Structure 1
Amino acid sequence: MNETTTRVAKREFSPTTATKVTFRMSIGKLAALLGVLFAFATLAIADERYVLRYDAPAMDNLREPSKGKPKGLGYIQTALPLGNGRLGAMFSGGIDFEHVLINDITLWMNAKRGQDVVAQSSTRIVAPDDLETVRKAYRDGNYGTKSNSMESLSTKYLSSTEPLGNYAPFSDLLISTHHDPASVRNYHRSLDSRTGLGTVSYSIGNGTFTRELFCSYPHDVVVARFTADGAKLNLSIQTTTKHQVTHVESMDKRIVLSGKAKMVQDDVEFMQIVQVDARDADITPQTDGSIKISGANEVKIYLAGYCDYLPVYPSFKGRDYQADCEKAIAAASKLGFDVLKESHVNDVSALMNRCRLALDFEPSGLTTDTLVSGKGSLELENLYFHYSRYLQLSCSRDAPVPSNLQGLWNADFKPAWNCDYHTDINVQMNYWMVDPANLSESFRPFAQWTKILAQSGVHTARETFGVNKGWSMGLNGNVFGFTAQNEHGRRNQQAAHWLCQNLFDHYAFNQEREYLEEIYPTIKGAAEFFVEYLSPWKDGTLVVYPTWSPENSYLVKQHGRLNKQAYGASWDQQLVLSLFTDCIEASTVLGRDEVFRKTLQEMIPKLCPQKIGQYGQLQEWPEDWDNPKDTHRHISHLIALHPGRDISPLTTKELYEAALVTMQHRGDESTGWSTGWKTCFWSRLHDGDRAHKIYEFLTSQRAYPNLFDFHPPFQIDGNFGGAAGVCEMLLQSHLRSIDNHAETIEEAAFVAYQTDPEEPQHFVPVVPNEKLADAPYILHLLPALPSAWPSGKISGLKARGGLEVDIEWNVGKFVQATIHANRNGAFRIYAEGKLSEVIVLEKGQSLVWPPLQ
């Protein structure tokens, strides 16, 4: 903390005030503890605000394939998800049989592993002059797709021909009940996002049948309990897989399944054990590997499954998956259902209770699919936010790889888009909400995976681009270190700068020096690559090329809709500035690499500027090629608005107005993930009603009956983007106070772009000085509160700087906020158009704002 911050902070707080703050912290901690205890004591009472409820089973095309998929709906869009970050499940709630889909986030197929360190990156080995041949086509303006075009030459010389592979399902657990669906009364199926418990209940004759299902993070197993009251259970349990089965056997009370997922090189081996506990029943193993149970009052089922994957480059192999299966099943069986359930509920509810949104509505009692089929409601918007948080902690936690395009849940052997990692927004969007929505633990898999990419990407940087320092990443990734360029030349791009933006933003929120030490080599490596890869354009500015502006075309009438390859696309240039700025700050905080820091500072002014075009729009490319009728789903050239921090209505008026024009051109309706991003954009533009309009559209028109994001067949990034948009409506913390004496936010905030005095429509990058590393974050309270949410409150939002914030509003007006410090530090508050002085809190202290008189 610099001297100015300390001096201003002392003026803000007297010792008496500091004592009051500490006392408030003690009361707050007591209230939080009582709240947790109360939550645990009342878990049996489901809070409707968190529960997805249905009065019919999911559609199950595995059971009835002849029925097809009416209106595009099937199992994946109607079954309900469970997960612990690595192991996932979905349950159908079927009456005659329960279908539980099992997934392991590390199980891939149709790729290669175990090659030498260069080959495993899948990079194309390029001759020294090949990159220059491609770049000359750009400089010569060879657009389109002809043999001498940018795209064709990029495909010929730079693109990989190696297989990416795809994410694959693990197995299916099938439990036949022999019940007649026509005889059922009082059917209920639900998922409580606060506890991660799935339930099914119905009556037949004088009997009542119930099921409970969950996926345990503490014990790494899927657990189910079937019970009957006034009747008996007669079940048949079978497990299958679409992969090659090497062994399946039922013995006594368990089913063991082993198999192989087909790879181009080195098949992935896996194992699953299903253990049954039905002490009052007859249990009979069958020769086909199934188990029959008759005359039971209660049946408990425990499932463990692992594959041999380990995140070790380049082998990606070595887990003792068989021993891990045996260990997990032995522990679960010994502990029993009740203990496993209690530990699971305590684990999930502790994380879910950290952040709660309470909009002002009365629960309708409608089922979730009915809510989705309506025109939108506060009830649905509230539920969608909490459910998205539940999905986040369910599909990303301690696994070695991040959530993919479908999070964790995939039933298809050939999933759409390989169910892979798209780096032109999708995998990054998956992690926008983890910190603001107070699920920071979910970020770990992303950081781990990016370190593997950096290890592999050094070979792609060197062999494809001739860059001898740093690392490179292309458009598509897998779990085996694939960092090469996409097979289509028009999709050639760099991605390390955007991945590193996520990495550094996680540090900004949590302020953990140990984490910064860990990721700094990755961030520095990305910056080193661009230092060498950036090349002068005809006007002398430094640009990224080959590149594109995902996934958009330009000059379509002249060169066709596949004319996408470009130079100096605005998104690249914005992200390079962000990367260099973050690397400068990280090296300053850690006290290292002063020479490299100066190199970055010297390069920043040479970067191609951002430009305002003929329609008043922010240009997508350095040439004024934008078409005002273009409604493309990607709006990558506004990355500096969100998830970046360099365009703001409060600090960069001209760029803000140009961003507004761009957003008007693109329109409101789009795919699920794009709708989620637009919610974030309009929140950053401080238009709460427009942001809400799009969020309402997302929740009511871009959601399947199980609230999975509508992007046929399903993509999870829309769920996460929408939840991030809610956070952005209520709290923003991306601006920094570089002048702690300034009384207005315009004077105080660091600005990354300034007008070029010779070209008023051009905005050149600003070199950050080392004071930025100590600059307090500015907490903007209710920056985009929509009129549709006149009253409400939210607790547990996280802000950059290591802070948590509770906010309450009424009749459309800010009422009060409480800021809790998770780290020693300083910050400023911006609320109702006024900027506070610098405030200092020590770890554990809290502050009520505005201060009590």
Structure 2
Amino acid sequence: MHRTILPPWLGVVVADDVERVGADRGDEAVEVPLLLRLDEPARTWTDAFPVGNGRIGAMVHGGTGDELLQVNDDTCWSGAPHDGPVEPVGPLGRDGAPGVVRRARRLLADGDPLGAQAELARLQSGWVQAYQPLVDVVLAHGAAAGDAGYRRTLDLARGVVTTTWTSATGVPWRQDVLVSHPDRALLLERSTAGAASDAGEAWVRLASRHPWADAPAPVDAPDGDPRAAVVVATLDMPSHVLPDWVPGPDPVRYGGRSVHAAVALAVLAGDAASVEVVDGAVRVRGTGRLRVVLTTATDHDVATGTLHGDRARVAADALAGLRHALADVDGIAARHVADHAALMGRVSLDLDAAVPDLPLDARLVRHAHGEPDPHLAVLAFQHGRYLTVAGSRPGTLPLNLQGIWNASVRPPWSSNYTININTEMNYWPTLVGDLAECHEPLLAWLDRLAVAGAATARTLYGVRGWVAHHNSDPWCFTGPTGRGHDSASWSSWPLGGAWLARHVVDHHDWTGDDDALRRHWPVVRGAALAVLDLLVELPDGTLGTSPATSPENHYLLPDGRAAAVSVSTTSDLAIVRDLLEQVRRLAHVAGDHDESLRAAVDGALERLPTERVAPDGRLAEWRTDVPDAEPEHRHQSHLYRVFPGTSIDPDSAPALAAAALRTLDARGPDSTGWSLAWRLALRARLRDPDGVAALVTAFLHPVDADPSGGDGSARGGVYRSLLCAHPPFQIDGNLGFTAGVAEALVQAHRRGPDGVREVHLLPALPAAWPAGRVRGLRLRGALRLTELTWRDGRVERAVLEADRPAVVDVRAHGSAERRQVVLQPGRPAVVVAPA
């Protein structure tokens, strides 16, 4: 038996009332402030604070005399649904695309990887489309201009950006901005405690980077209210946008089939005010209270990925949404806060640290100079959850590279779905952060992606199931990117579907929702069929992949040239093995009793090599020991089975875990923002608290206020607003950071030899966090860590709950000692320190 005597700090109590147990020990919850604060208006777009409801996103700049809200709608993308399968650039030859793959395989066997890369370039089939900005709401209010006492905050708990200041004439002002999920509307409210006569004149207008189809024009205000004005506008997204890094004479095209969008805007003023529409803009005079309400609509149906093409209907939808919101405009804010707080309040983290009375940018610089500020980690952890709540709700599209916030027609990397790590990382914190409903947009999109990827699997590879390569979009692009010139290091990688399928598995592991597993099982099954058909027998009798890449990385050939294509890369085999193991484990739960599939999976797993340790002690990335072209490369895909996989840790595979740590050491201390977040999760899984601490510090490095006095924009970290810098901005790092912190506090991925799940408390707690409390994290096995409290780095108290009967082994701090705990729904198990 692997269990030992319960360590002296641990005792297990089963209680009907968790709050009563230990209540006399001063364990009452303490509200940790969750305010991001800056003491000046945004100087750049990344200085602004994001608000959103999953569909509408806005960046709030916090201007006083001139305010800017940059608004997105998550359905606004360039392009349109695809007709037919992918079309490789070719030429392909009489044996089609599968013949290209076979020729590349032969070239690799003959020792010519560069020739194989040139052959595979024939399969490239264009690029994904780009996420688009919608409109700007511009508020010109000269009488309110001023900077005295200025403060701008984003309240993560309430989902509201608040700006307070005093105008140059001594009048105090306050502005609140939010985007309501219940009312499907953006609300800006600006008010003063001064006299309405001090408010002067304000103008509100809409602007867009796209040409108007119908310019902003007035419509009747609700009930003919003279203190209100309403304008409606329509516009079309581009029919095609080239990626920002691809040159071309016509990178942005309008006029073809594309998304039709509409915006409806209401401006409401207080008593005795004058409101009128002049040339599509709204002029307001003499009001101490100004409210702006905005709704959007498009013809893009995210459930089906289709466009209905009726612009008039879109305008009517936007106006109907606005009238619905205005029916009880006074209740919008309260309904929003209640809805947002209900999700955010499920999880709290307190690192028992003081909160300095300083703006965020100053705190980041002090922290980078070595001043302890554990509360920054709390803010960054909850910021990831906030961005999930604000950016991903049932019925929306999945979070893209920038979530739902983007100001550029040609954004970095098209602000697309980059599925060789970044899209997956976007959803790492969702389940552990008790936001399972926010995971739904990814799963729903995967159902459609798998259908599109089936045609790509047949066309390019002649295999069953479905595949996707490294980029996609709402139109479910699944082919290799490029027109014959993209690097094989990213383009020639057909395992995007296999990686994404793990999210279906993870959703079941965390929630225990068998119905959801059955509903999305075709995603998993189809990905497994594809990899089974893609595997080839190698000369040593093993199964492997050929051609193969390690996403976006290169190795050096004997003549010093860099190559990307190889045979049986470690990341390929890790992803394939993980997927097939999950199919074997869960097929019966999903109702899949296909014995031929089970036999094929079992046979493949017997012949798939596992990871190996290279002569230098690192986990090998390539099949042979070749030099790295870029030793500190940002991707570490060959560590897949450490994290997000669950197979390699210091207990289950100590030699491989040690090699993985050496790999991370060799990658160096700095990288892009999202890579730092991935390395944080990897270090936590490998139980390296010092590594976790170093990566927290590296991630919180202020790239736009470098403490060394130099230009910090060349390395990863965060902007003043705490948004992650790749650089440029990518949201995946913010979300990956949250997952990495959770991994340092609790892990529940392992099962013992008897199948009992292990709950490991504080497996990688940094020394800089000696005391704290976390409440509400969800764990694999449909478990909940209702509370975990620690002091001096040791567990004081933990409370576990289960959604269904369960047996778990509890351990802490990397100790080998475990205690078995039986959990019943509604009866928390309370682990307390002796009195």
Q: Does 1:808 align with 2:789?
A: yes
Aligned residue in 2 for 1:586? 586
Cα distance in 2, alignment partners of residues 295 and 629 from structure 1:
63
- Tell me, yes or no, if the aligned pair for 1:123 and 1:464 is still in contact at 8 Å: no
Cα distance in 2, alignment partners of residues 442 and 281 from structure 1:
44
Cα deviation, 1:311-358, whole Å, max 9, x if unaligned, reads 355635479533432232112111113x11111111111211111110
Aligned residue in 2 for 1:354? 346
Give the counterpart of 2:140 among 176, 182, 186.
176
| 1:128 CA displacement | 4.7
Cα deviation, 1:235-264, whole Å, max 9, x if unaligned, reads 100011111201121345111110001214
SS at match of 1:632: coil
Q: Does 1:366 align with 2:358?
A: yes
Range with greater deviation from structure 2 (99-108 or 320-329): 320-329
Q: Does 1:843 align with 2:825?
A: yes
Cα distance in 1, alignment partners of residues 539 and 88 from structure 2:
33
Aligned residue in 1 for 2:323? 330
Aligned residue in 2 for 1:193? 156
Cα distance in 2, alignment partners of residues 644 and 497 from structure 1:
12
Give the counterpart of 1:428 among 424, 432, 435.
424
Q: Per the alignment, do residues 441 and 655 of structure 1 end up closer, same or farther by CA in structure 2, a change over 3 Å counting?
A: same
Cα distance in 2, alignment partners of residues 703 and 556 from structure 1:
36
Aligned residue in 2 for 1:766? none
Cα distance in 1, alignment partners of residues 730 and 212 from structure 2:
29
Cα distance in 1, alignment partners of residues 97 and 349 from structure 2:
56
Q: Per the alignment, do residues 333 and 25 of structure 1 end up closer, same or farther by CA in structure 2, a change over 3 Å counting?
A: same
Aligned residue in 2 for 1:441? 437
Cα distance in 2, alignment partners of residues 120 and 241 from structure 1:
34
Aligned residue in 1 for 2:178? 214
Aligned residue in 2 for 1:615? 616
Count of residue pairs brought into register by the alignment: 768
Give the counterpart of 2:383 among 366, 387, 402.
387
Aligned residue in 2 for 1:567? 567
Cα deviation, 1:446-473, whole Å, max 9, x if unaligned, reads 1011111101000000011111x21000
Aligned residue in 1 for 2:258? 267
* One-letter code aligned to 1:820: E
Cα deviation, 1:695-732, whole Å, max 9, x if unaligned, reads 11101341100000012320111111111111011001
Aligned residue in 2 for 1:749? none
Aligned residue in 2 for 1:650? 651
Give the counterpart of 1:713 among 728, 732, 755.
728
Cα distance in 2, alignment partners of residues 121 and 462 from structure 1:
13
- Tell me, yes or no, if the aligned pair for 2:259 and 2:307 is still in contact at 8 Å: no
Cα deviation, 1:747-794, whole Å, max 9, x if unaligned, reads xxxxxxxxxxxxxxxxxxxxxxxxxxxx33211110001111111111
Aligned residue in 1 for 2:248? none
Quote the sequence identity (%): 29
| 1:382 CA displacement | 1.6
Q: Per the alignment, do residues 302 and 578 of structure 1 end up closer, same or farther by CA in structure 2, a change over 3 Å counting?
A: same
Q: Does 1:115 align with 2:96?
A: no
| 1:599 CA displacement | 1.8
Map 1:530-541 to 2 at 5 A: 530-541=531-542
Cα deviation, 1:67-123, whole Å, max 9, x if unaligned, reads xxxxxxx22x101100111110111111111100111112111x342524x359999
| 1:127 CA displacement | 4.4
| 1:569 CA displacement | 1.1
* One-letter code aligned to 2:404: L
| 1:568 CA displacement | 1.0
- Tell me, yes or no, if the aligned pair for 1:115 and 1:315 is still in contact at 8 Å: no
Cα distance in 2, alignment partners of residues 120 and 442 from structure 1:
34
Map 1:683-762 to 2 at 5 A: 683-701=684-702, 702-739=717-754
Cα distance in 2, alignment partners of residues 821 and 314 from structure 1:
37
Give the counterpart of 2:39 among 55, 59, 66.
55
Range with greater deviation from structure 2 (366-375 or 304-313): 304-313
Cα deviation, 1:564-609, whole Å, max 9, x if unaligned, reads 1222111111111110111112212234324112220111011133
Give the counterpart of 1:396 among 392, 398, 419.
392
| 1:215 CA displacement | 0.6
Give the counterpart of 1:822 among 803, 812, 835.
803
Aligned residue in 1 for 2:48? 79
- Tell me, yes or no, if the aligned pair for 2:97 and 2:461 is still in contact at 8 Å: no
Cα distance in 1, alignment partners of residues 793 and 819 from structure 2:
25
Cα distance in 2, alignment partners of residues 619 and 119 from structure 1:
34
TM-score (normalised: structure 2): 0.87
| 1:852 CA displacement | 7.2
* One-letter code aligned to 2:60: F
Cα distance in 2, alignment partners of residues 287 and 336 from structure 1:
24
Q: Does 1:462 align with 2:461?
A: no
- Tell me, yes or no, if the aligned pair for 2:185 and 2:293 is still in contact at 8 Å: yes
Aligned residue in 1 for 2:104? 134
- Tell me, yes or no, if the aligned pair for 1:120 and 1:456 is still in contact at 8 Å: no
Range with greater deviation from structure 2 (49-58 or 183-192): 183-192
* One-letter code aligned to 2:467: S
Cα distance in 1, alignment partners of residues 725 and 718 from structure 2:
5
* One-letter code aligned to 1:294: R
Structure 2, unaligned stretches of length 5 or more?
222-228, 241-255, 703-716
Cα distance in 1, alignment partners of residues 645 and 788 from structure 2:
24
Cα distance in 2, alignment partners of residues 509 and 318 from structure 1:
40
TM-score (normalised: structure 1): 0.86
Cα distance in 2, alignment partners of residues 628 and 814 from structure 1:
44
- Tell me, yes or no, if the aligned pair for 2:518 and 2:591 is still in contact at 8 Å: no
Cα distance in 2, alignment partners of residues 813 and 25 from structure 1:
21
Give the counterpart of 1:311 among 283, 297, 302.
302
- Tell me, yes or no, if the aligned pair for 1:457 and 1:471 is still in contact at 8 Å: yes
SS at match of 1:611: coil
Aligned residue in 2 for 1:748? none
Range with greater deviation from structure 2 (838-847 or 547-556): 838-847
Cα distance in 1, alignment partners of residues 577 and 98 from structure 2:
28
Q: Does 1:780 align with 2:760?
A: yes
Q: Per the alignment, do residues 128 and 58 of structure 1 end up closer, same or farther by CA in structure 2, a change over 3 Å counting?
A: closer
Cα distance in 1, alignment partners of residues 756 and 589 from structure 2:
14
SS at match of 1:497: helix
